[in-house]
Amino acid sequence: MFKFKNSILTVFGLIVAVGFVAASIPVVGYGDSPRDSAVGSVRIIIPDQSQQEFLQHVRFSAHSGPSGKNPKGQVHLTLRLPPFETVVKGKVTCLSVTGTVARIAAKLDEPSTFFGSTVTSITLFVVNNGEPKGGDSVDDVRIGSSNFSPSSNCSSGGFTLLGRMQGNVVVTDATP
């Protein structure tokens, strides 16, 4: 019985010691520090008289420390302008947030062809204008593309289809 109690006390002591050591190891990441982020999904559908639909669907989740430090996330774009159609995905390489405006750049997982040009990265210019009203988004999302790395501020603009926009964008600006 004495050996059993002694073993339990030894195991308990090891658990407590490991807990103290683990608690003293610094956690790498953002912790409680403020973070910049831009998250959203916006879809625009324009019915065509020929019964085809033009579609632009942008989904993104971009996060970084203050001032764009260590950007992470994904961008996913579906674009259908018959007869052209493409679906691309990429990893976020840049996030720049000022107030309710975010600029995002992503390197594509695989190069794609947009209107005859090879594209290796896409950029987004995103404006959070509030919550959707009547099912329609009041936000603005513009898409740019290039075959070179985006500028240091991530994006310079882009295009968007004009039509009924559905979805929502949330931009958070962390002050450094």
Tell me what pLDDT residue 142 has.
77
List pLDDT tens digits, range 66-81. 888 899 999 999 988 7
Give the separation between CA 32 and CA 13, rounded to whole angstroms.
31
- 121 token code pair: 């990265």
List pLDDT tens digits, range 27-61. 334 445 579 999 999 988 777 666 667 788 999 99
Give the separation between CA 129 and CA 96, rounded to whole angstroms.
17
For residue 83, is the peptide bond before it cis, meaning its omega torsion is within 30 degrees of 0? yes
Contact indicator for 142, 131 with CB cutoff of 8 Å: no
In this predicted model, which residue has the larger pLDDT, 107 or 161? Answer: 107
Give the separation between CA 90 and CA 143, rounded to whole angstroms.
13
Tell me what pLDDT residue 12 has.
38
List pLDDT tens digits, range 117-176. 888 888 888 888 888 888 777 887 877 776 656 556 676 556 666 677 788 899 999 875
105 alpha carbon, distance to own chain's centre: 9
Contact indicator for 145, 86 with CB cutoff of 8 Å: no
Contact indicator for 109, 91 with CB cutoff of 8 Å: yes
pLDDT beyond 70 at 104: yes
Q: Which residues pair with 55 in a beta bridge?
A: 45, 80
Please give the angle made by the CA atoms of 120, 122 and 128, to the nearest 5 degrees: 170
Tell me what pLDDT residue 7 has.
43
